[in-house]
Structure formats: C-alpha cells, structure tokens
Structure 1
Amino acid sequence: MEHRPFCCSVKGFVKKLRLVFGLLAVVCCIADAALIYRKLLFNPSGPYQKKAIHDEI
C-alpha cells in the first residue's frame, strides 16, 4: 500500500468539508444575530405602530 498525505485521503477530505461547513455556519449565525440586533435596535416595538388612547378619541 502506498503512502498518501493525510490531506489527500478520504478522511482528510471529510475533515476539510466539515471545517468549511462549520465556518459557513458560524458566518451565517453571526450575520443572523447582526440582522436581528439591527431590527430590534431600529424598530423595538415591532412592525405595528402602537397608538395612544387619546389619538383614537
């Protein structure tokens, strides 16, 4: 059996794929958290405007 470097073996390829998908998941989580934070910061009451009682009368 010939000796191949670890990075060229099947296990090495799987480990590289897991690393890439792990990094992609981290980036997606950070982007999601930033978007949620931004939405809550600029629109804390939600999409609906709350009206005061004296505005309805």
Structure 2
Amino acid sequence: MKNKRIFILSLIVLSVIMIGIQETHATPLTTGLMIVVIVTTVFQILKESLSKQDGTHSK
C-alpha cells in the first residue's frame, strides 16, 4: 500500500515537471509526453480510489 502511494505521488510530481517542460519547450513531442503522463496519473488515482471504495463496502 505504501509503495502504491509513493508511485502515485511520483506520477503527480512527474506530471508537474512535464507541464513545466511543455510550457518551456512547446513541441508536439513534449505535448504528447505531457498528455501520456497526465492520463496515466489520473488513471492510477481513479483506480486506487475505486479499489478503496470497493474494499470498504465489502467489509
């Protein structure tokens, strides 16, 4: 569980870094990378929150 939280925190930090890089060097490559990182981050956060909800309702 702790490793998963660290992973999600790392994705959030990476998202912020990618937004900064994209703002500095606006190219299709950086825009694409930023989109991939942000989508991955949002997906992992939603997946984690949905799995927590499922775990609390089944108890």
- TM-score tier (shorter): 0.5 to 0.7
Larger Rg: 1
AA of the residue aligned to 2:55: Y
For structure 1, the residue ranges without an aligned partner over 5 or more in a row are 42-57
- Within a 5 Å distance, the mapping from 1:1-57 to structure 2 comes to 7-41=25-59
Q: Which has the higher helix share?
A: 2
Any idea what SS the aligned residue of 1:8 has? coil
Runs of 4+ aligned structure 1 residues displaced above 4 Å come to none
AA of the residue aligned to 2:47: C
AA of the residue aligned to 1:22: T
User: What TM-score, normalized to structure 2?
Assistant: 0.57
> Number of residue pairs matched?
37
AA of the residue aligned to 2:35: L
Select the structure with the greater relative contact order (CA < 8 A; seq sep ≥ 6): 2
For structure 2, the residue ranges without an aligned partner over 5 or more in a row are 1-20
